A and B are shown apart, each in its own frame.
Chain A
Amino acid sequence: MAIELQKLLKRKVTYVSLFTLILLVGLAVWQGFSDFKEEFDVAQRINGDFADSVALISPSQYWVGLSNAFFSSFFYFIFPLLVSLPVVDSLYQERESGNIHYQLIRRNKWDYYGKKFLFTFFTAFFLFLMPLLMGIVLMNFLSGTWDYSSFSAAYDRLVRGTAVVGDSTALSRKKHLFSNLLSISPYLYIMVYYIIGALYAGAYATFGLATSLFMKNRYLILFMPFSLYLGGWFIFSTIPLLNWDPFNFLDPRQPVGRLFYAPFAVDFAVLMVLTVSIYLIGVRRNSDILS
């Protein structure tokens, strides 16, 4: 694992990918913050007498993923490509360079492939999570707000129906899933979404790694996680099962109707079972690499 980490840190593409992710998050925060200022101004002028209406417009609603900013949506569109870029072709590179022979003579096959799998999963996991956490910190720093208890109290009253709000406060601010977390703290809500997203990012990256055992085209290997994500989106949109599609339910805005909790677990389980079985078949197929 330590060697894998060194390899990762010495690749230029790691930094390119991380920089692009952070740039996207930074632009999303900047856009979200200007949206927030505008909304907050309007809310103060129109609903200044209603404390709950003003409290519901909080910077926490403009974190990456929650805002309607272009770069926030684009981050959620492109993340499988950027997150898996540094790690997805590592088996391909070692096969092409012949390093895999050297490794497999000295190590157990299952140890090597298993650690590769885990390392890919967790690298993608942290590459997804880190820029988003930086986005939260940046947004809080820009707006100067770190404590969101007034927002969660107002949200709690909105859900219970006791909030006193102006006419122009949309009731669509109510979330369908994880609503009780949002009434405790927005941090909890967003962390749940970010961690689920990071798990999916890891799953997509390992899917790319598993398919790389069967392919010789490096470009196709790099594109594989993104193709799966986009392909899934289009197939689920065509058969109208939008609530089963990762593209829709990973979005913290909850953009489609009829969402429920089962798809989070079921899709992840199906994806992981598929990935692991493809990986095992691939490892078996490449097992006579020394002969």
Chain B
Amino acid sequence: MISCRNILRFVLQDFLLKKKISIVILGFIPFLFVLTVLFSNAGKTLSSVEELILWIRFEFFYNPLFILLLGMNRNEHVVWMIRRYHRREDMAAHMICFVILHAFLFTLVVLLTGIVTYSIFHQLLWTVLAPLLPFAVIFFLLLVIIGLLFVSIEAGSNRMTASFVMIFLVILDKFTVLVIPFMLHAWYRTMPMVLIMVLLLMIVLVTWIIRKQMQQLDYF
């Protein structure tokens, strides 16, 4: 049995091996916001940090970028995984930890960029920052679910199919059911606790599915 701390160490190790290109990809978000500050008046007209963050649309920008980051950093050397871990559950835990780390870093970059851009144009007040907390939590949980589904589809097929399916599903949702836009624009204000509970429940479910999949996976 490998402890959680070791798994986290391995995930961080993998991330640091590819830190240069990860920084380039994550740096694209601040770069776009710098362009916004220089050329567009969106910063002046939008009245809250959430609106400023979502000015660049989730389904067309944040989601593909996150998928690109995940797929690129995913360790494809199976031998390396088998050397590190003895049990299949540990490998599943590695995947989940990997997704959570990336979602956390992504949310952190997005939030910091949003707050800094907002503070250039407006005064930062507590009333502005208060609804940002549930928004950040929901943004993070949403990315975790997308990442876990990505890992789950990838275990069944390959990375390219998984990326295509995840990009397609999120955009399809935008054009039909509108769950994600509602979550990010309205529900985080009206019913944050219920939403967080539902998202956590979904995460538990997908985690269980990934664990089952890992038990079936043929490594050789």
Contact = CB atoms under 8 A, between A and B. Distances in A.
A77 to B, nearest CB: 7
Contact of B72 (A85, A217, A230, A234): A217
B171 A74 contact: yes
B54 interface: no
What's the dominant secondary structure at chain B's contact region? helix
A74 B165 CA distance: 12
B175 interface: yes
Interface stretch (A180-188, A190-198, A235-243): A235-243
A230 B71 CA distance: 17
Interface string A215-241: 001011011001100110111001110
Contact of B159 (A70, A219, A235, A240): A219
Given A78-B167, A235-B32, A238-B36, A222 B64 contact: no
Given A70-B172, A230-B64, A234-B32, A240 B167 contact: no
The SS class assigned to the A binding surface is: helix
A217 B72 CA distance: 7
A29 interface: no
Contacts of A233: 60
B201 to A, nearest CB: 29
Nearest to B159: A219
A78 B60 CA distance: 11
Interface centre among A220, A235, A238 (most CB of B within 10 A): A238
A222 B56 CA distance: 24
A68 to B, nearest CB: 11
Interface in B30-74: 32, 35-36, 38-40, 56, 60-61, 64, 68, 71-72, 74
Given A78-B167, A81-B164, A217-B21, A223 B68 contact: yes
B177 to A, nearest CB: 12
B21 A231 contact: no
Contacts of A239: 35, 38-40
Given A219-B71, A238-B35, A240-B40, A230 B60 contact: yes
A140 B22 CA distance: 47
Nearest to A231: B28
Nearest to B175: A70
B168 A238 contact: no
A217 B71 CA distance: 10
Given A219-B72, A230-B61, A240-B40, A85 B168 contact: no
B160 interface: yes
A234 B56 contact: yes
Given A85-B160, A238-B36, A238-B40, A220 B168 contact: no
Nearest to A81: B164
Contacts of B168: 74, 78
A65 B139 CA distance: 33
Give 10 closest A-B pairs by Cβ, nearest first.
Answer: A238-B35, A239-B39, A70-B175, A219-B71, A219-B72, A220-B72, A238-B36, A223-B68, A238-B32, A219-B159
Given A78-B167, A219-B71, A238-B32, 16 more contacts: A70-B175, A77-B60, A78-B164, A82-B164, A217-B21, A223-B68, A227-B68, A230-B61, A234-B32, A234-B56, A234-B61, A235-B35, A238-B35, A238-B56, A239-B35, A239-B39
14 contacts: A20-B164, A70-B172, A70-B175, A74-B168, A74-B171, A217-B18, A220-B21, A220-B72, A222-B160, A226-B64, A227-B68, A238-B32, A238-B36, A239-B35
Interface of A: 13, 20, 70, 74, 77-78, 81-82, 85, 217, 219-220, 222-223, 226-227, 230-231, 233-235, 238-240
